[in-house]
Chain A
């Protein structure tokens, strides 16, 4: 069984469109994250949720809106896609909160978004 699963794995779309990426974890973790990895391979945190509550919200355009219907799911919706949004988006989960007894992060396989 996959611990952290994301869909879709690949997404190709036009500028201006709206798209969503879904993430689910079956590890029973309380905290979930979205990371963006650009072409230079820099892995940057975007959001963190703990028990459906937003904890970390880095400087991300408000076109990006995370939604956590329950603690096992954290979806990412992106409005009005731009060329610069092309990247690999990784979902992750951990037992605890950043700064505390986090436990290791478990990453999904990534969703490669290409904006044309």
Chain B
């Protein structure tokens, strides 16, 4: 199978750092997307990892370890507008994880 697992919900405080994990079965894997989805809106692209290591993009970074079947999205200096669902997706069959709903509190 190609199950993708993410925590269902997370909470954090404005200004803090939060790490959202994503694990997947390694068979057939060739890359990972991270998407952000605000309630009632379409998913929007955040990052793409195909090689091991950290990809940094402003306040958001994404990490991949292919041998461990593990990725994380790191959000720094959290803002209220970061409250959303965060979804990881395999690029081999474009299967999405169940998403992690992040709530940022003042």
Contact = CB atoms under 8 A, between A and B. Distances in A.
Contacts of B92: 98-99
Interface string B20-31: 000000000011
Interface string B89-105: 10111111011010000
Interface stretch (B11-19, B41-49, B53-61, B65-73): B41-49
B98 A108 contact: no
A45 B92 CA distance: 12
Tier of interface size on chain A: 20 to 34
Of A45, A105, A108, the most chain B CB neighbours within 10 A belong to A105
A98 B94 CA distance: 6
Contact of A45 (B37, B48, B95, B99): B95
Contacts of A44: 96
B79 to A, nearest CB: 22
Interface of B: 30-31, 33, 35, 37, 41-45, 48, 85, 87, 89, 91-96, 98-99, 101
Interface of A: 33, 35, 40-45, 48, 56, 90, 98-99, 102, 104-110
